[in-house]
């Protein structure tokens, strides 16, 4: 294993808002509480410990014991659930959808970032406990985002028709997905483990939440990961005061809308826009938003209606039927967990930045936001090819057209760069313009037009010569295109497209151990991992 790093700015794949956050620019400062460094976490501990109650801790631990009742627990996870009852225990959380067989690679990066940050904090604060949490997005309803994963460039999909919260989806019919996946795997020991892992997760558990819990527990249980399912009546009962406030006062919409306007004034794009009421109503095979119309609460696209009194009674009696949307889910998480920080990707953290004032309004500490680690895995064979082609880590992430231009020029026996000629031409026309100013100013327009025409001509000749050089260096161009396309599928980061199974089949547990050893979410650099 060899680990190198590259500044996020050099990859070209990270948004301005995230780069500004990592650089702590003044324009983004009003939208977060404490920064993601050790000092920020120290301050967050002081805030959280005075706002989190013993009753909430007790309820959380009992709910987790119930959720894990049928799961084989590692000693590490069992210990972490137990210490959550103690006043000196805090959590760091990441969340993720219930993607089929973990979905994209960055699922692993999120969780190892969370585990490693907890270990870093424990070393800094030996008198406290820090528990890594994976919050399963069991109440999501966008099935098309999670019903597949990619293996060796092919999509393996689970097709079904149920609606409602995905965590409740039956795994019936998953055997055909297993057969398709198994047929593509080889006969190695690692391939056999992947088959067994998939089979036991999805063929021996009744719903998607249970299957995902089993899968994540197998991969990360030895590191003490605790998995939380928020679709839980006892946990939601803790959240009822905020749900009631949302129903009656619609606070989130007002505050988040104001934050969005402030972000836009700073030039940042908005990830999500609030609705008037940011809650769904859950029923069997259904998750529809709650709207308030003509004095009644109505469940969209159904015949279900409530008077204000009826919906308050419904909330008290059946809190599990009320589901927060993307605006309120972070608040739910921070209400029921002794949480210090949330680890997520750039898109996730961008919408968290919209929520800070909402947290302040409802008097819940806003967590430290931590950008998850991003990784490019490179095999030793691929690294040798990069070395042979003289492509550096930074150059690998150039747009392909720019990379090819750069390498063709470097390997050319003639100059393909007409920059000197262009500079000379500009100097000559500058002299002509001075003459024109002294004689007839109407001549300036003609001079400018001629300058533009000749510069365009040089550009065209330069491009034509570059195309000729690319044809002459066909073997080099073909090698570069093939290698970059393989490392960056569809010209994007592989972590968003490949599934961990491709690398696990090749490297086995070495993949997990290498990620565990190399990821540090408080080091704001992109990780390149050679295996």
Give the integer Cα–Cα distance in Å for 366 and 210: 30
- Put residue 508 in one of left, alpha, beta given phi > 0 → left and psi -120 to 50 → alpha: left
Burial class (CB in 10 A: 0-12, 13-18, 19+), 233: exposed
Q: DSSP of 253-315, one letter per residue?
A: HHHHHHHHHHHHHTTPPPS----SS-EEEEETTEEEEEEEETTEEEETTSS-EE-HHHHHHHH
CA atoms within 13 A on the CB side of 341: 35
Which pLDDT band, with edges at 50, 70 and 90, does 49 fall under?
very high
Which pLDDT band, with edges at 50, 70 and 90, does 147 fall under?
very high
430 pLDDT more than 90:
no
Residues comprising the chain, all counted: 531
- Report the predicted TM-score, pTM, of the whole model to 2 decimal places: 0.91
459 pLDDT more than 80:
no
Is residue 94 classed as helix, strand or coil in its secondary structure? strand
User: CA distances (Å), 64 to each of 60, 96, 202, 343, 436, in order?
Assistant: 6, 18, 21, 21, 83
Is residue 141 classed as helix, strand or coil in its secondary structure? coil
Report, as an integer, the average pLDDT of 485-504. Answer: 97
At residue 456, the pLDDT reads: 82
81 pLDDT more than 90:
yes
94 pLDDT more than 70:
yes
How does the average pLDDT of the chain come out, rounded? 93
Weakest-pLDDT range from 13-27, 87-101, 338-352, 411-425: 411-425
Q: List CB contacts of 262: < 8 A, sequence separation 6 or more.
A: 30, 31
Could you tell me what percent of the chain has a pLDDT over 90? Answer: 83
- Residues 256-285 have pLDDT tens digits of 999 999 999 999 999 999 999 999 999 888
169 pLDDT more than 70:
yes
Is residue 160 classed as helix, strand or coil in its secondary structure? coil
The residues facing 344 across adjacent strands are 371
At residue 170, the pLDDT reads: 93
428 pLDDT more than 80:
no
């Amino acid at each position: 294993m060899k680990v190198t790093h590259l500044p996020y700015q050099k990859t070209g794949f990270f948004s301005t808002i995230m780069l500004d956050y990592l650089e702590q620019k003044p324009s983004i400062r009003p939208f977060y509480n404490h920064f993601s460094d050790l000092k920020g976490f120290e301050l967050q501990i002081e805030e959280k410990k005075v706002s989190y109650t013993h009753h909430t801790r007790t309820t959380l631990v009992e709910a987790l014991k119930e959720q894990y009742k049928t799961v084989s627990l590692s000693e590490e996870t069992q210990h972490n659930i137990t210490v959550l009852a103690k006043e000196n225990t805090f959590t760091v959380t990441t969340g993720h959808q219930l993607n089929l067989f973990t979905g994209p690679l960055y699922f692993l990066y999120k969780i190892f970032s969370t585990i490693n940050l907890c270990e870093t904090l424990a070393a800094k604060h030996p008198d406290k406990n820090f528990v890594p949490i994976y919050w399963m997005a069991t109440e999501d309803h966008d099935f098309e985002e999670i019903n597949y994963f990619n293996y060796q460039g092919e999509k393996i999909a689970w097709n079904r028709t149920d609606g409602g919260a995905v965590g409740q989806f039956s795994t019936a019919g998953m055997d055909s997905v297993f057969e398709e996946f198994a047929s593509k795997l080889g006969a190695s020991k690692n391939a056999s483990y992947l088959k067994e892992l998939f089979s036991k997760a999805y063929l021996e558990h009744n719903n998607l939440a249970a299957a995902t819990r089993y899968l994540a527990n197998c991969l990360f249980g030895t590191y003490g990961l605790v998995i939380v399912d928020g679709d839980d009546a006892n946990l939601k009962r803790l959240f009822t005061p905020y749900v009631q406030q949302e129903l009656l006062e619609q606070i989130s919409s007002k505050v988040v809308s104001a934050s969005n306007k402030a972000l836009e004034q700073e030039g940042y794009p908005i990830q999500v826009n609030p609705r008037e009421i940011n809650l769904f109503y859950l029923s069997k095979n259904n998750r529809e938003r709650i709207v308030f119309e003509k004095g009644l609460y109505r469940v969209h696209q159904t015949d279900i209606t409530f008077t204000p009194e009826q919906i308050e009674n419904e909330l008290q009696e059946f809190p599990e039927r009320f589901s927060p949307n993307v605006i309120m889910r972070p608040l739910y998480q921070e209400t029921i967990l002794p949480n210090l920080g949330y680890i997520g990707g750039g898109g996730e953290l961008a919408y968290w930045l919209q929520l800070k004032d909402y947290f302040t309004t409802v008097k819940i500490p806003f967590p430290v936001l931590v950008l998850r680690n991003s990784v490019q895995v490179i095999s030793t064979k691929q690294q040798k090819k990069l070395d042979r082609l003289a492509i550096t880590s930074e150059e690998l992430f150039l747009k392909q057209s720019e990379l090819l231009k750069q390498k063709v020029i470097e390997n050319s026996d003639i100059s393909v760069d007409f920059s000197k000629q262009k500079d000379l031409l500009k100097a000559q026309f500058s002299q002509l313009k001075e003459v024109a100013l002294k004689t007839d100013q109407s001549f300036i327009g003609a001079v400018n037009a001629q300058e533009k025409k000749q510069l365009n001509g040089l550009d065209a000749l330069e491009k034509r010569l570059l195309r000729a050089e690319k044809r002459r260096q066909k073997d080099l161009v073909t090698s570069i295109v093939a290698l970059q396309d393989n490392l960056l599928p569809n010209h994007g980061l592989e972590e968003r497209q490949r599934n961990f199974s491709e690398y696990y089949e090749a490297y086995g547990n070495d993949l997990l151990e290498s990620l565990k050893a190399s990821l540090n979410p408080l080091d704001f650099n992109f990780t390149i991992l050679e295996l």
